[in-house]
Amino acid sequence: MSMWFTENQTANFGITAKIKQTLATVKTDFQELQMIETEEWGNMLVLDDMVMTTERDEFVYHEMVAHVPLFTHPNPKHILVVGGGDGGVIREVLKHPSVEKAVLVEIDGQVIEYSKKFLPSIAGTLDDPRVEVKVDDGFLYIANSKREFDVIMVDSTEPVGPAVNLFTEGFYSGIKDALKDDGIFVAQTDNPWFKADLIHQVYHDVKKIFPVTKLYTANIPTYPSGLWTFTMGSKIHDPLKVKPERFHEIETKYYTPELHTASFALPRFVSDLLK
């Protein structure tokens, strides 16, 4: 008898994956965590029945969260990642030689623990000496940080449970205060097929606070609809005005300098959400 995991992405639609075995199931202080070995996507991290990452397609999300802002900023040294306990964004951040320190703030320490155990190709750089890992509330951490970071990346779950506060105008205002004078932040902002209202709200909340506000996309097959958006807020630097010499060679599977620019070219139904 075959076993299948299904994520119901709406009341009427979902995706399903054939399971080899369930590696772990635990109820943390914040959510239900599962590690599942799948036939198609390798090991998969699931939180509250939502796919967070898989071994096969994780590189798309993590590269696009990290490299777009890090190549936009001329000299990113101090980086903050809010959420992202699987370690994938940190792994990509550390590919930039200018980075001196990367702080990871994850509210659920068991996400870090189980990712190290079952997703070592993703979480393997969390022990790097440049990384400081804090098990803490990212919202409160941001509120207590002032002009500390060059780039802040919000790698959160969807706006449910402990991540609800990470999709508010007050949080984005706190991020502005936590950034240096030429700082940049980026947040994952879900998909335009099922969460159009969320994208519209976040974009306009960020636009109230940051002089440069942009939306970009990537294709991530295990996320709802496969089309994913990221919202960037910048105090000064425009991601579409990066000088060619700024792009240095790094090892990637998805991100390229050409894609950096192309990802901001939006389908009309997505750009209409920003009006």
Is this model's pTM higher than 0.85 or not?
yes
- Read off φ and ψ for residue 82, nearest 5 degrees: -100, 125
Instruction: Evaluate if residue 133 carries a pLDDT over 80.
Output: yes
Asked if residue 35 lies in contact with residue 28, where contact means CB atoms within 8 angstroms, the answer is no
- Read off φ and ψ for residue 274, nearest 5 degrees: -90, -5
Instruction: Evaluate if residue 164 carries a pLDDT over 70.
Output: no
User: Does 108 carry a binding-site annotation?
Assistant: no
The pLDDT, as a whole number, for residue 81 is 98
- 1 pLDDT band, cuts 50/70/90, is low
User: Does 155 carry a binding-site annotation?
Assistant: yes
The pLDDT, as a whole number, for residue 166 is 66
Q: Edge-to-edge, what's the strand order for the sheet holding 42-47? A: 3-8, 14-27, 32-38, 42-47, 50-54
* Span 120-141, average pLDDT: 96
User: Does 86 carry a binding-site annotation?
Assistant: yes
Tokens describing residue 110 = 């068991």
Q: Which of 150, 155, 190, 205 is catalytic?
A: 155
* Span 192-216, average pLDDT: 96
* Span 121-134, average pLDDT: 97
Instruction: Evaluate if residue 156 carries a pLDDT over 90.
Output: no
- 162 pLDDT band, cuts 50/70/90, is low
The pLDDT, as a whole number, for residue 179 is 98
User: Does 62 carry a binding-site annotation?
Assistant: yes
User: Does 100 carry a binding-site annotation?
Assistant: no
User: Does 205 carry a binding-site annotation?
Assistant: no
CA-nearest of 85, 92, 249 to 155 is 85
User: Does 129 carry a binding-site annotation?
Assistant: no
- 170 pLDDT band, cuts 50/70/90, is confident
Each residue's pLDDT tens digit, 215-266: 999 999 999 999 999 999 999 999 999 999 999 999 999 999 999 999 999 9
Q: Does domain 3-53 have CATH number 2.30.140.10?
A: yes
User: What is the chain's mean pLDDT, rounded?
Assistant: 95
User: Does 158 carry a binding-site annotation?
Assistant: yes
Domains of the chain, by residue range, sit at 3-53, 58-274
The pLDDT, as a whole number, for residue 165 is 65
Instruction: Evaluate if residue 163 carries a pLDDT over 60.
Output: no
Instruction: Evaluate if residue 8 carries a pLDDT over 60.
Output: yes
The pLDDT, as a whole number, for residue 64 is 98
The pLDDT, as a whole number, for residue 2 is 78
Percent of the chain topping pLDDT 90: 93
Each residue's pLDDT tens digit, 22-41: 999 999 999 999 999 999 99
Fold of 58-274: Rossmann fold (3.40.50)
* Span 199-228, average pLDDT: 96
155 is catalytic: yes
3-state secondary structure 103-132: EEEECCHHHHHHHHHHCHHHHCCCCCCCEE
3-state secondary structure the chain: CCEEEEEECCCCCEEEEEEEEEEEEEECCCCEEEEEEECCCEEEEEECCEEEEECCCHHHHHHHHHHHHHHHCCCCCEEEEEECCCCHHHHHHCCCCCCCEEEEEECCHHHHHHHHHHCHHHHCCCCCCCEEEEECCHHHHHHCCCCCEEEEEEECCCCCHHHHHHHCHHHHHHHHHHEEEEEEEEEECCCCCCCHHHHHHHHHHHHHHCCEEEEEEEECCCCCCCEEEEEEEECCCCHHHCCHHHCCCCCCCCCCHHHHHHCCCCCHHHHHHHC
Nearest 5°: the CA angle 62, 242, 268 is 70
* Span 92-112, average pLDDT: 98
CA-nearest of 108, 105, 110 to 143 is 105
